[in-house]
Structure 1
């Protein structure tokens, strides 16, 4: 069993083992020099003991073979990063989880996963009595696989740039009730960095024997309960049950939690969600838009079940069809008939050319647990109120529209399209946003279909912000660079790559370069031999439909 004591200062040990009356008497009778000498010897003894225990923990970590990466590199802020080919946000989360849990197992420290309030991170719980052993094995782990540690509760962020193998990185550990371990990871191009907003949090739960049955009390609220029986049985649970950002593939390695935590989350989505992508532009830049959309789904929405590509032109040869990707040939305007798409799930995301995901998303961001879609609202102005889609939406529902809808990926239900077809409304003309001279307003299909879904109780519009940029925008490169550096925008939609102005000003090339850097990791929807050029070729790049 692990040593239940924690690393303490000489003063703390002195107070612990010497009664208060004796300390008071010594303060008045024993010379100060003698007291300092005794405390100094005690401090040296503790340091030697701590070094011995650290070496033992390090041997355990090395025997377990923990902490491997292809190579190390220097991150954007000078910290150490780890390079992994094929890195995704979900894969990094699983790397971190496996590292910590295997280290705790190697040290024979019991643990269980907790459904934390912030499901961007996986949270583990250990008993307070094992706090000293936890610090030793985690410090050894961070020495073998360089990472960082901060105190979350109480919040102390001044150690986030100090490698966790250093003792001074643990200076707040004694008072910490919750800590966070962070590893910075990147792909071989070092354009994609993951880890800062994720990491593994460890809570220290205390035993409460005030009642007849011993309980464990958590240091902070979670999504289920803060007190659990200490003898509650453990059960296996998928990481997707703890974090909505995780892959729902049941073949992946589960984690361990207590039976009392295995309950449905308030925001948990238990129905499949597909993605529908439109392929309309058989050009070099058109292929890059499709490639980026597929990579954004792979990187930031691993929970998507099947991807359906609606091809209004000959699909690219590099598309890898299979169980998770289907290609259906269709005529222009097929968007109005998506309820006829074979084998599409009732709930799906629609991504038109130029729409990509900019950061990790959850099914809950697009659908409610009872099945309603959550379309993104957009700006409302006089131009929108007099647009043809606004009149068509009123004719189909008898209710006046009150807002537009944003660009980017939009959630839909098959039932919405079926009801829209039942109204007998004539399909509106669908503009080609990649040849438009400026960023268009609400897409006609979004306006009509979402308004009808809202009036029929199938949709509840939300307000998640989106970013829409036109490739002909003067000085577009700083805007793209800002998106690349921050990576905090959920919805991104790029327009006008086929316009004459964008080609003349170099905007098309700038957007394609941006997409290569934003999505450097190949998705499973591409053949391995497919290669990506560093920029749009000077000849074919300007090919227009």
Structure 2
């Protein structure tokens, strides 16, 4: 049996294939699969052209399992506790063979490795496979985490050890294999059992039955893991956007000829209707960081984004004419009006997220961030407070709508709402909105008929339906890391750079209610660089 060379000697001689520069892959040996079929590397960073967190996860998993398969080492997928990485189990009896094949693989394609011990208070820091210290405890570790750092061609995204593959060493006890650490299902499986295939969603809450199959294939596992757990979300979740291209001449003509009085300067501001291509990047954020979304619906005034493909499943443009119950309410230029009709979208799931096109998912999130396993929606109250008293002429459109919401909910439930919602995607229940429309038909119809924002509006999705769901037992307060940023701030570039460097927010909103025409050109250059840097991977819905 081949044994692992002394770690110090390994580190001293380097790990690259002889004749190849350090960090640049040579032709793979027959017994050593490459980390990813389309990978390219420099400085031990492997480039994937269509990089997503799922792609990084799958590339690392497939590299590890290919190495095990090459050596003929039996293995099976485990339902681990991490949503981003994967876990495979091997028998403790095969430890020496596993270590040898992983050593050879990381010798040709340097990556990172960390050891897992059952007595660890916190995870061990990953070390380069070139570093002798990385190999010191591999013979006694309960598990090894192996990864190769993945990047997009522009190196805007760097996805590292979090998306690696852990190899657990399961000990034989009688007729069973016993896990070295807890997973989400069981401590033991039959030692004689054959592998079966399990849906990818069983192995990560980041994946659903509607995730593109190619990005998350079924995994070979044991029958003991093919169970539906009580804390799992299995219902579909859709996403809905409202969008307008304010540069469209046909739309501009409809707006100019529309009847109705604009009561507040903000409600008619051109900035409210500017299309800065945010929608393209917001959809990219779902593709990258929320691949569990089933269908994306875009509600528009007979407009289709120029970048969008309509022949790809998973995204659908919905005309206002298809969802408005009273066609005489159209055309409308009031987001409150449009929001009052979104629950009429044909095929919309009971649970859905409502996005303005300036809202983005900032890092990988699961549906648990927005819903409980029982289907209760989570909402995100603001630290602001709704002004006291009735609606007055000096109220902003937001405050006026919140006051109207408050009055109706007080009358119906005897409870007073005091907080608006943060600019975080709104988790909604379709049935709650339908009931709210039935309970308040006059106020709902009045909002639908307001072509521009009016004193009498409700804010149907961003507040009213959320509180209605809460007061009928279908929503509960929650929180998440997020950022709200007005594009009109003087230090816009610095703030966007901090957001890009940190990438530590679950969501963020880039609001544009107060920009002047003089601001827009300068802002656009800054915004283009930021959005391309944050979301470099096109979604499959783009031309």
TM-score between the two structures when normalised by the length of structure 2: 0.77
- 1:125-204 correspondence runs (5 A): 125-153=89-117, 160-162=126-128, 164=129, 167-204=132-169
Task: Specify the alignment match of 1:453 in structure 2.
Answer: 469
1:344 partner SS: coil
Please report how far the alpha carbon of residue 109 of structure 1 lies from its aligned counterpart in structure 2 after TM superposition. 0.9
Matched, 1:413 2:426: no
Cα distance in 2 between the residues matched to 1:488 and 1:266: 30
RMSD over aligned Cα atoms: 3.3
Cα distance in 1 between the residues matched to 2:490 and 2:388: 25
Cα distance in 1 between the residues matched to 2:274 and 2:317: 19
Cα distance in 2 between the residues matched to 1:267 and 1:119: 14
Task: Specify the alignment match of 2:40 in structure 1.
Answer: 71
Please report how far the alpha carbon of residue 380 of structure 1 lies from its aligned counterpart in structure 2 after TM superposition. 4.3
Q: How many residues end up aligned between the 2 structures?
A: 464
Q: Return closer, same or farther for 1:501/1:397 CA change in 2, 3 Å cut-off.
A: farther
- 1:323-362 correspondence runs (5 A): 323-330=313-320, 331-332=332-333, 333-362=337-366
Please report how far the alpha carbon of residue 190 of structure 1 lies from its aligned counterpart in structure 2 after TM superposition. 1.1
Q: Return closer, same or farther for 1:382/1:271 CA change in 2, 3 Å cut-off.
A: closer
Question: 1:110-166 CA deviation, whole Å, 9 max, x = no partner?
Answer: 11111112222211111112111111111222233331101132659777342x256
Please report how far the alpha carbon of residue 308 of structure 1 lies from its aligned counterpart in structure 2 after TM superposition. 0.6
Q: Return closer, same or farther for 1:395/1:352 CA change in 2, 3 Å cut-off.
A: farther
- 1:404-483 correspondence runs (5 A): 404-424=420-440, 426-427=443-444, 445-483=461-499
Please report how far the alpha carbon of residue 378 of structure 1 lies from its aligned counterpart in structure 2 after TM superposition. 2.5
Pick from 182, 201, 208: which aligns with 2:173?
208
Cα distance in 2 between the residues matched to 1:384 and 1:111: 63
Cα distance in 1 between the residues matched to 2:65 and 2:230: 26
Matched, 1:523 2:529: no
Give ranges in structure 2 of 5+ residues lacking alignment.
16-25, 248-272, 321-331, 390-398
Between the two structures, name the one with larger relative contact order (CA 8 Å, sep ≥ 6): 2
2:340 partner SS: helix
Question: 1:404-429 CA deviation, whole Å, 9 max, x = no partner?
Answer: 32212121121121011111251486
Q: Return closer, same or farther for 1:263/1:280 CA change in 2, 3 Å cut-off.
A: same
- 1:41-440 correspondence runs (5 A): 62-63=30-31, 65-67=33-35, 68-74=37-43, 80-153=44-117, 160-162=126-128, 164=129, 167-209=132-174, 214-246=175-207, 248=209, 249=211, 251-252=213-214, 253-283=217-247, 286-312=275-301, 314-322=303-311, 323-330=313-320, 331-332=332-333, 333-381=337-385, 383=387, 387-388=402-403, 389-401=405-417, 403-424=419-440, 426-427=443-444
Q: Return closer, same or farther for 1:70/1:225 CA change in 2, 3 Å cut-off.
A: closer
Task: Specify the alignment match of 2:254 in structure 1.
Answer: none
Higher-Rg member (1/2): 1
Residues 471 and 508, structure 1, Cα contact 8 Å, conserved in 2: no
Question: 1:6-42 CA deviation, whole Å, 9 max, x = no partner?
Answer: 75989xxxxxxxxxxxxxxxxxxxxxxxxxxxxxxxx
